[in-house]
Amino acid sequence: MISRFVTKMRIASITNRNTINKSKHNFVSVILVTSMGVTGVIWGMGEMKWLQSMELGIYDRMLRLRHREPMDPRLLLVTIAEEDIKREKWPLSDQTVNQLLKKLASYQPRVVGLNIYRPQQKDLGNNLTPSGQVIATCLLSNIGRSEVPPPGNIPTDNIGFDDVVSDNQVDQVIRRALLFAEPTEKDEKCQTEFSFGTLLAITYLDRQGIRYTFGQNQELQIGKAVFHRLDKNGGGYQHVDTNGYQILLNYRHPQDLAQQVTLTQVMTGKVKPSWVKDRLVIIGAIANSVHPGYYTPYSSLSEQSPRLSRMMIHAQVASQIISAALDGRAVINYWSDWLEWLWIWSYAVIGAILTRKWHHPIPVTIALTVVILLTLAIVTILSWQAIWIPFFRPVLCLIMSSIAMISYTSYRVQKQNQIILAQVQKQQQAIEEMSLLWEQKTQLPTHVDQFDFVDAVTSGDTDLLLAGRYQIMRNLGSGGFGRTYLVEDTQNQNKDQHHTCVIKQLMPARRDDKFLQVARRLFNTEAEILAIVGQHPQIPQLLGYFEDRQEFYLVQEYIVGHTLSQELPPVTGAKSQSFVIAMLLEILEILSFIHQHHVIHRDIKPSNIMRRHQDNRLCLIDFGAVKLIQPQINPGTESATVSIGTRGYSPPEQLAGHPRLSSDIYALGMIGIQAVTGNFPQELPLDPQTGNVVWRHLGIVSDQLASILDKMVCYNFGDRYLSARAVIEDLNCSFSP
């Protein structure tokens, strides 16, 4: 007989278990799909340049937030302002320019840069010594603009082009420095490859014995400083035009760039020789009437002029190159593409994980806010180290990933609710039919042939496996509805997850075809419901279910712990108010979850609440509807009836066969009263007028908690709390610190 049974067990269908496993969405796969999908959307938006302006705006703000550096002591700026133009007239005469250069040369500057176009002047600086001290400028041809040639008597090696590059397609702000460029065929006279600012710096450093080279990857190197060529997708840029040799311009604060004197001060001898000696002197117009200037990252500062002159831009470039070569001042850098996208994708992962972990909007909002603030701190600190990393894209990825996960979770909850509602309807129909069958059955059988697996194993049948995979370890208990076994899953490859589990053997009280048909429907619907609610971390996960020999089996997660019965009277003394509040809040959170899915536990009692040893959390076990196929017939302290539930803990409507969501709240309230009074619920007196439990004189608790417990256990379900969430809110409101 046993061998036939074993054979039958080995071929028992476990299709239901496979269905459950398929319906369980793997946490990692959901996170990966969501994060990769959101990152792909962000990438597409980046390719369309929709996010570039935001990243550049944040970059500008990071530059402005940096600590202000001291002035560059190697530069002197000779500015031509509106007052100077009124005195000398514009354009400056050849005589005035040469007189200015001669005056400066007497103070022995190392290099003089003249950022004024002098294409007609043939004798520029002829009388200066040493020769080659003056760097002049020209202008390359551009769309709709002809070239501006350099002075005729200045050698090409002393000519730098005056062109700059701005982000015209975004906001016309200058964030990049153009160091080198190839003249076009239209540039007949402006044939230099060096920008004006670059040539000034290179000439200045060359006279100090520091020369430029092009090292690995043909990148400019001067001294120990390497000026990395800007990539078209560098930092927050997306497909930017990087023709020529461009770098990110590492601005000094415009007010702290270098010492400044006016043209008038130089011409009238009001400049100290020490201000000029061995310095790089740059001469240029800052008057708006000459040129309106350019927008910079500092243009939004109230104390700063909205635009910066071309001369000041070249001075910034020269200062950056010189200070990097001599002082090791940082050159603004950025991460490679793959590292940036890893950084951005990680935020999609974080957003998905946080939203998946905390479903309530308040903790999710707090967590996201903390992450954004931490990101801002990281980006700011790195910007101080001259490293530009994206901020807007990862934050947007974080938010979009959270929204996507919320939408996905809401969709899944809706689908699960639809499934559960359908199963609940089937369950209710089965319960009604089961109740009719119990009414037809006036006497329960005194004995039913039930196969005992433990006896089979101890008798020598060690090869016995339930469903061909579960090896029995020991019998955990038995009751009127069947037995519970601790088993080892021999087919589980992951030894760390559900390797040891529990099988509950449920034996129908009757074996006639009609009863078994209804019992099977009730069992299947209950199992499908458990498969969904078991996703809560404090409800045992349903790992599978199957039927064999007209008996039903649930395979569930094994929770190592002890029941709440061992913590309550009479095993212990009456519990404190703080214990009761903590216990109520923890179980109410679980009830809130299952009630949102329209599921009623039906058998809340201390023996169905486990204290998990791993994390000391309370877990809810043994949902009650399936027990109707074999109710307990031996009355005890927690005596059961043919209806689902346990006397003392079950409210009147549930004992009458009409449970509601508030029925679970009633049962939990009775556990709370048992904890504070030390009395079993069935021992408490009832008010003959209202039917409500009279218990306050037996326990010592605050009026607030007593009122909450009274409302939880009202005889009339209409007078009770309508939801577990309402009880939680009252408890938090009354006892929050």
| pLDDT 10s digits, 590-638 | 999 888 888 888 889 999 999 999 999 999 998 866 655 554 444 444 4
Statement: residue 236 has pLDDT above 80: yes
Question: Looking at domain 561-628+643-735, what is its CATH homologous superfamily?
Answer: Transferase(Phosphotransferase) domain 1 (1.10.510.10)
Q: Find the catalytic residue in 60, 84, 162, 603.
A: 603
Q: What is the pLDDT of residue 643?
A: 55
- The 10 Å Cβ neighbour count of residue 251 is 26
- In whole angstroms, what is the distance from residue 385 CA to residue 246 CA? 20
Secondary structure (3-state) at 394: helix
The answer to whether 207 touches 325, Cβ cutoff 8 Å, is no
Q: What is the pLDDT of residue 446?
A: 44
Confidence grade of residue 53 (pLDDT, cut at 50, 70, 90): very high
- For residue range 437-449, what is the model confidence (pLDDT) as tens digits? 766 654 445 444 5
Report whether the peptide linkage leading into residue 508 is cis, meaning its omega lies within 30 degrees of zero: no
Statement: residue 2 has pLDDT above 70: no
- For residue range 294-326, what is the model confidence (pLDDT) as tens digits? 999 999 888 888 899 999 999 999 999 999 999
**Helix boundaries (H) for 534-643:** 577-596
Fold matches, 465-557 and 561-628+643-735: no
Residue 626: name the closest of 565, 549, 536, 542 by CA.
Answer: 542
Exposure of 59 in the CB half-sphere (CA atoms within 13 A): 29
Q: What is the largest CA-CA distance in the chain?
A: 128
Q: What is the pLDDT of residue 248?
A: 95
Angle (nearest 5°) at CA 674 between 673 and 678: 120
Would you call 719 a catalytic residue per the annotation? Answer: no
Residue 589: name the closest of 271, 325, 358, 250 by CA.
Answer: 358
Scan for tokens 């040639």, then name that residue.
149
- In whole angstroms, what is the distance from residue 498 CA to residue 638 CA? 31
Domain ranges of the chain: 61-334, 465-557, 561-628+643-735
Residue 664: what residue type? D
Q: Was domain 465-557 assigned CATH 3.30.200.20? A: yes
Statement: residue 352 has pLDDT above 70: yes
Positions at the binding site for ATP: 504
- In whole angstroms, what is the distance from residue 75 CA to residue 319 CA? 7
Q: What is the pLDDT of residue 493?
A: 64
| Mean pLDDT of the chain, nearest integer | 85
- In whole angstroms, what is the distance from residue 710 CA to residue 64 CA? 62
Number of residues in the chain: 737
- For residue range 335-347, what is the model confidence (pLDDT) as tens digits? 999 999 999 999 9
Residue 619: name the closest of 578, 596, 586 by CA.
Answer: 586
pTM: 0.70
Q: What is the pLDDT of residue 449?
A: 54
Residue 282: name the closest of 88, 134, 103, 494 by CA.
Answer: 134
Positions at the binding site: 504
- In whole angstroms, what is the distance from residue 459 CA to residue 207 CA? 100
Scan for tokens 């089965």, then name that residue.
430
- When mean pLDDT is compared across 75-79, 301-305, 415-419, the lowest value belongs to 415-419
- For residue range 37-47, what is the model confidence (pLDDT) as tens digits? 999 999 999 88
Statement: residue 523 has pLDDT above 90: no
- In whole angstroms, what is the distance from residue 641 CA to residue 634 CA? 10
